[in-house]
């Protein structure tokens, strides 16, 4: 059905090699070049990447395995990843793990069968065993968002601990002492953020009373429920740290439904902000992850590895560059959701 270079050969009278050279950017006579271009136009010829891949043993394809494709954070990252990959001529085969380690491992196998040149993984598993097959097969892997402490792969993430600590520091600097935390201890990123919170509080000689500490998963429900519980406390907190986007969304809805106003009655600082802060009134003060940079770095690292492997083909005992963990700094963007506090009581200035 589709035209091949043999068809072009028939039309132009040139040889396969010449045509192939044209396709791969070689030098040839302008006259021949034109002939080929006309034939391509006529025949609607397109390179068969499968055949090309068989020869070059490169599929120009990378597998992207995500813990949950319906997650807003994931979608956004996926967009940037796709852009970067595409710009380099790579197609992304995206597989959803549904937050299930078994499906994750299966996705890896599946994609290996599809001959992906590399793998980008936003992992759900807590250990890196599931990466053995690609590593053994020599397929480069870059972990994104969540590190697994495996030195055999590269990893790009955000310094969650420091970022969370700085967010809390902000609250303390504004004078807050009764600080609540709604976070998650079910995934590594959530744990790191909690760690950062605790560390700063300790440094400041502050403590979180148990009723101010709401641990759960990264879900809207958790944020919504927990916030209501906090607001109904006899002595509610004056400020609250929200551990991720879903929690923010749920918590902000709870606040809006309540009598409490932000920041007069309750100050808020959040982690991740994909939607809410731009239109909530006042704008939220949030830790913003550099999603674009994370994606770009991930793609850059992966493509470099792929390149290296390609070159190592001719150079058998080439030195393998050591793997790295890139920890990017998140940025705090101040909105108006934190009020200044005098003593330990009411808000004084809503900034």
Positions in the binding site for DNA (CB under 7 A): 2, 4-6, 13-18, 20-21, 23-24, 26-29, 31-32, 45, 47-48, 51-52, 54-57
**Local structure of residue 29 (DSSP, 8 states):** -
Check binding of 249 to a copy of itself (CB under 8 A): yes
Query: Dihedral sign, CA of 211, 216, 218, 222?
Result: negative
d(CA 100, CA 77): 20
Of 278 and 344, CB closest to a copy of itself: 278
Residue window 266-305: x/- pattern of binding to a copy of itself, with contact defined by CB under 8 A: ---------xx-xxxx------------------------
Residues 64-83 that bind a copy of itself (CB under 8 A): 69-72, 74-76, 78-79, 82-83
**What's the CA gap between 35 and 261, in Å, rounded?**
72
Q: Which does 234 bind (CB under 5 to 8 A by kind): DNA, a copy of itself, none?
A: none
Residue 342 contact among a copy of itself, DNA, none, beta carbon within 5 to 8 Å by kind: none
- Closer by beta carbon to DNA, 27 or else 205: 27
- Least separation in angstroms between CB 94 and DNA: 24
Q: Which is nearer to DNA, 35 or 146 (CB)?
A: 35
Q: How many residues of this chain bind a copy of itself (CB under 8 A)?
A: 58
Taking the complex as a whole, the smallest distance from the CB of residue 244 to a copy of itself amounts, in Å, to 14
Task: Assess 44 for contact with a copy of itself (CB under 8 A).
Answer: yes
> Which of 167, 225, 170 has its CA nearest to residue 196?
167
Q: Which is nearer to a copy of itself, 10 or 109 (CB)?
A: 109
Coil, strand or helix at 132: helix
The partner in contact with residue 34, picked from a copy of itself, DNA, none with C-beta cut-offs of 5 to 8 angstroms by kind, is: none
Specify the long-range contacts of residues 208-217, CB closer than 8 Å, at least 24 apart. Answer: 208/179, 208/180, 208/181, 212/178, 212/179, 212/180, 212/181, 212/237, 213/180, 213/181, 214/180, 214/181, 214/182, 214/183, 215/183, 215/184, 215/185, 216/182, 216/184, 216/186, 217/184, 217/186, 217/187
For residue 196, the minimal CB distance to a copy of itself (Å) is 27
Q: Residues near 23 by Cβ (< 8 Å), separated by ≥ 6? A: 5, 47
Tokens of 93: 């085969």
Structural Rg of the chain based on CA atoms: 26
When asked if residue 61 is in the footprint of a copy of itself (CB under 8 A), the reply is yes
Single out the residue of 127, 84, 23, 76 nearest to residue 304, CA to CA. Answer: 84
Among 111, 153, 167, 201, binds a copy of itself (CB under 8 A): 111
Nearer residue to DNA within complex by CB, 264 or 318: 318
In the complex with a copy of itself, which residue's Cβ is closer, 228 or 304?
228
Q: How far, in whole angstroms, is CA 319 from its chain's centroid?
A: 29
105 binds a copy of itself (CB under 8 A): no
Residue 93 within binding range of a copy of itself, rule CB under 8 A: yes
Beta strands in the chain (DSSP E): 61-66, 91-96, 118-121, 141-144, 154-158, 179-184, 213-216, 239-242, 267-271, 285-288, 325-328, 331-333, 340-341, 347-349
Note the residues at the interface with a copy of itself (CB under 8 A): 1-2, 44, 46-51, 53-54, 59-61, 69-72, 74-76, 78-79, 82-83, 86, 91-96, 109-115, 133, 136-138, 220-221, 224, 249-250, 252-253, 256-257, 275-276, 278-281
């Amino acid at each position: 059905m589709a035209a091949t270079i043999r068809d072009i050969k028939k039309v132009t009278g040139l040889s396969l090699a010449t045509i192939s050279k044209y396709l791969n950017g070689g030098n040839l006579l302008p006259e021949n070049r034109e002939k080929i271009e006309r034939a391509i136009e006529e025949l609607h010829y397109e390179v068969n990447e499968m055949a090309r891949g068989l020869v070059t043993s490169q599929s120009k394809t990378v597998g992207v395995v995500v813990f949950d494709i319906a997650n807003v954070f994931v979608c956004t990252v996926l967009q940037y990843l796709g852009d970067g990959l595409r710009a380099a001529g790579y197609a992304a085969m995206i597989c959803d793990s549904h937050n299930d380690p078994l499906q994750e491992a299966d996705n890896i196998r599946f994609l290996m069968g599809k001959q992906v040149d590399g793998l980008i993984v936003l992992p759900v598993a807590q250990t890196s065993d599931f990466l053995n097959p690609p590593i053994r097969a020599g397929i480069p892997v870059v972990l994104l968002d969540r590190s697994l402490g495996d030195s055999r792969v590269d990893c790009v993430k955000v310094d969650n601990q420091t970022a969370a600590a700085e967010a809390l520091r902000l609250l303390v600097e504004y004078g807050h002492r009764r600080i609540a935390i709604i976070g998650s201890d079910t995934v590594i990123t959530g744990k790191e953020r909690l760690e950062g919170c605790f560390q700063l509080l300790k440094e400041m000689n502050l403590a979180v009373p148990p009723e101010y500490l709401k641990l759960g998963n990264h879900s809207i429900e958790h944020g919504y429920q927990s916030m209501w519980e906090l607001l109904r406390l006899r002595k509610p907190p004056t400020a609250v740290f929200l551990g991720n986007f879903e929690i923010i969304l749920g918590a902000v809805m709870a606040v809006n439904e309540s009598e409490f106003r932000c920041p007069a009655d309750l100050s808020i600082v959040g982690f991740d902000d994909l939607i809410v802060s731009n239109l909530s009134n006042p704008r939220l003060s949030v830790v913003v992850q550099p999603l674009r940079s994370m994606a770009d770095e991930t793609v850059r690292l992966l493509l470099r590895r792929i390149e290296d492997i390609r070159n190592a083909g001719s150079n058998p005992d080439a030195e393998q560059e050591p793997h790295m963990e890139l920890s990017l700094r998140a940025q705090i963007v101040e909105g108006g959701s934190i009020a200044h506090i005098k003593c330990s009581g009411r808000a004084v200035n809503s900034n």
